[in-house]
Amino acid sequence: HIRMNQGQSLVKRGRRDEALNKLIEAKTALAQLSADGHADDALMRDLAQTALAVARLRLASRDFDGAAVDLAEAETAFGAFAEDDWSRAGLAKINELKRLLEAARRRSESPPAPSE
């Protein structure tokens, strides 16, 4: 929780790279706890939210491949819950970010328009 809160605080202060590193540390620690068999609902919800936050920051920094991986992790974590309002809202955010990711990829791959 501490790393996650530090990451969110850094984002608010405009220190995106540091925030991304803190959130990646938090996501990695949560994923390790889950892999070690300590996955309860609270941990999985934290993992889902953290993966989503990391994906947003990666998308903002144009790390499209990293954002895609984090979105997949978030989708898996959100999908682990029964269809409740929280998981539906999270999956809706993920789908929105996937659309933004694909649009950003298309823009980055298309050649610049000739200037007049």
Q: What confidence tens digit (pLDDT) does each residue in 13-63 have?
A: 667 788 788 888 888 888 888 888 877 888 888 888 889 989 998 998 899
Give the count of domains, the chain.
1
In a domain, 55, yes or no: yes
In a domain, 36, yes or no: yes
3-class SS string, 52-84: HHHHHHHHHCCCHHHHHHHHHHHHHHHHCCCCC
In a domain, 88, yes or no: yes
Residue 14, pLDDT score = 64
- CA 37 from centroid of its chain's CA atoms: 22
Residue 84, pLDDT score = 84
Residue pLDDT, tens place only, 58-113 = 998 899 999 999 999 999 888 887 678 888 899 999 999 999 999 999 998 877 66
How many whole angstroms separate alpha carbon 97 and alpha carbon 92?
9
Cα dihedral angle (13, 17, 22, 26), rounded to 10 degrees?
A: 120
How many whole angstroms separate alpha carbon 65 and alpha carbon 42?
28
- Domain extent at residue 103: 2-107
In a domain, 57, yes or no: yes
CATH classification of the domain holding 70: 1.25.40
In a domain, 14, yes or no: yes
